[in-house]
Amino acid sequence: MIHPPYLTRHSIRLFLLIAIASALTTTARAQSVAAPSATPPVAAPTQPAPVTTGARTTDVATMDSTIAALYDSISGPAGKRDWDRFRSLFAPGARLIANGVRPTGEVVSRVMTVDDYAERNGPFFEKDGFFERELSRRIEKFGNIAHVFSTYESRHAKDDAKPFARGINSIQMMNDGKRWWIVTVFWQGEDEKNPLPAEYLKTRN
């Protein structure tokens, strides 16, 4: 903060006199103005619409279509992604969590909002092709909640002979009676110490 310069006693008295005179003048002017006949109503603050509205009906009609849309929205040749479509798949407050193992053996996680994910990965997708597809899936479902273990593989080009990465997306979902929402995507990539088990490479239920 910028501190004011020190004032002399004379300048302080002069300052106070000017301030008092100014206050009296302002009060007189205010009293001469007629009061309004009625107080205008104060509009209630509007709540911003969640970014998850406006989803394509075909994207969120079923669990299958929602997961397919998740993979499709981040896949494609180098270029911008349709982040509005991506956001529309997720429930308000949803999280995407990348899990990995450092060379030291320490297991770490990076927690991101949907916007965090778009901001962090958008520049990469604009420069490099990225195609991710689901290999197999295991589902646990009860009532309106579901947990999907979705095995994935990633390629830089759609016709690459081999993927450069594989892993598992652990996806939590919720159905509100109208559509499916993604609540969490928690994933870890395959490595030498953690190869994908055969059971997660087979299509089940």
Segment 91-142, tens digit of pLDDT:
999 999 999 988 898 999 999 999 999 999 999 999 999 999 999 999 999 9
Q: What is the pLDDT of residues 143-189, one digit of tens each?
A: 999 999 999 999 999 999 999 999 999 999 999 999 999 999 999 99
Residue-level pLDDT at 54: 75
Structural domain spans, the chain: 57-200
Output the CATH code of domain 57-200.
3.10.450.50
Could you tell me where the beta strands, DSSP code E, fall in the chain?
90-101, 107-112, 131-142, 145-155, 165-175, 180-189
